[in-house]
Copies of this chain bind each other. A is one copy, B any other.
Amino acid sequence: MTDVEGPSPTRKLRADGERNRLRLIKAAKRVFAEKGASASLDQIARDAELGIGTLYRHFPTRDALVEAVYRQETEALLSGAAQLSRELEPVSALREWLRIFVEYLASKQGMSEALKTLIGGTETLYGESSAKVRGALDTLVTAAVETGEIRMHMEPLDLLRAIAGVANLSPAQNWKRSAVLMVDVLLDGLRTEARRADLERS
Residues on A facing B (Cβ under 8 Å): 112, 115-116, 119-123, 153-155, 157-158, 161-166, 168-172, 178, 181-182, 184-193, 196
**A166 engages B172 (CB within 8 Å):** no
What is the minimal beta-carbon distance from A24 to any residue of chain B, in angstroms? 25
Give complex CA distance A166, B160 in Å.
Answer: 8
Closest chain-B Cβ to A141's Cβ sits at a distance in Å of 14
Is the Cβ of A182 less than 8 Å from the Cβ of B166? no
Are B170 and A166 interface neighbours, CB within 8 A?
A: no
CA distance in complex: A181, B157 (Å): 13
Q: 13 A-B residue contacts at CB 8 Å?
A: A116-B168, A120-B169, A120-B170, A120-B171, A154-B181, A154-B182, A157-B170, A162-B162, A162-B166, A162-B182, A163-B165, A189-B189, A191-B192
User: Which residues of the other chain, B, contact A191 by a CB distance below 8 angstroms?
Assistant: 192
Shortest A109–chain B CB gap in Å is 13
A192 touches B182 (CB 8 A): no
Check A178–B154 contact: CB distance below 8 A.
yes
| Contact A158–B171 (Cβ < 8 Å) | no
The docked-state distance in angstroms from the alpha carbon of A172 to that of B121 is 8
- Give me the 3 closest cross-chain CB pairs, A-B, nearest first: A165-B165, A189-B189, A185-B189
CB nearest neighbor in B for A154: B181
Contact of A165 among B169, B172, B188, B192 (CB under 8 A): B169
